[in-house]
Amino acid sequence: MKRALGCLSLAAFVLVLVAAGSGAQDQAKEVLKLQLPKPMFVGTPKNIRTPNLENVTGKARGPFMVPVGTVLLSAGKPVTASDKEPVIGELSFLTDGKKSGEDGYYVELGPGPQWVQVDLGKPEALYAIVVWHYHSQARVYRDVVVQVSDDKDFVSGVTTLFNNDHDNTSGLGIGRDKEYIETSEGKLVDPKGVKARYVRLHSAGNTSNDMNHYVEVEVFGIPAK
């Protein structure tokens, strides 16, 4: 009798455990019900067609330190590009020192991946490269890659200084640098003193259209003696 009672107690205990276990499993499977907020309705937004010089982030870039004796090397230097016949403007606009965001100051290259290249004349130690694509409108240029080399065809001795091509559109490798919104400050890239004669900048359209634009490119460094 005692044995039977013991067996019954054991069976009841196992049943309780199984039931509790199955309850725990049910709880584990329960779908988390989230009450997500709905979008707010709002009237027709502002229509923007007029260029302006508004800075989107509103944060000024902090001071950037360079070695004493660093000067602008790219002023008036020759520029070449993948698009030999720009849609608007001249390639010489890139190094003419004029950085206004208005019409007449930028060069427009064709759609899709394109590059421009500044020839500094001889290898120099580079300490800053600043690029202004188009700063009269809040937009982001795609797949910006900045490279330097002593080879004008960029086949050998290529150093990549900046790459935000996250999906390898340009075929130059996946980049981990961040995309950025164009402002009148331009984008500063730190070459960390690398020596090179040619600076090549790639892009592949922007968030407003598929074209590529440059207002100015400035390359700073210490002239070779």
Site string for other proteins, 101-140 (x = CB under 8 A): --x--------xx-----------------------xxxx
Say whether residue 66 binds other proteins (CB under 8 A): no
The stretch near other proteins (CB under 8 A) out of 9-17, 44-52, 76-84, 189-197 is: 44-52
- Judged by phi (left if over 0) then psi (alpha if -120 to 50, else beta), residue 180 lies in beta
Q: How far is the CB of 104 from other proteins (least distance, A)?
A: 11
H runs (alpha helix) in the chain:
2-29
Task: Tell which residue, 90, 204, 203, 216, has the closest CA to residue 147.
Answer: 203
Q: What is the DSSP letter of 3?
A: H
Does residue 60 interact with other proteins by CB under 8 A? no
- State the Cα–Cα distance between residues 107 and 98, nearest whole angstrom: 12
Q: Does 38 bind other proteins (CB under 8 A)?
A: yes
* Least distance between other proteins and beta carbon 202 (Å): 12
Residue given tokens 């790459």 in the structure block:
163
Binding status of residue 84 toward other proteins by CB under 8 A: no
Compare residues 109 and 196 and give the one whose CB is closer to other proteins: 109
Q: What does DSSP assign to residue 78?
A: -
d(CA 131, CA 134): 9
Residues that bind other proteins (CB under 8 A): 34, 36-49, 56-57, 88, 103, 112-113, 137-140, 142-143, 166-169, 171, 174, 178-179, 181, 204, 206-209
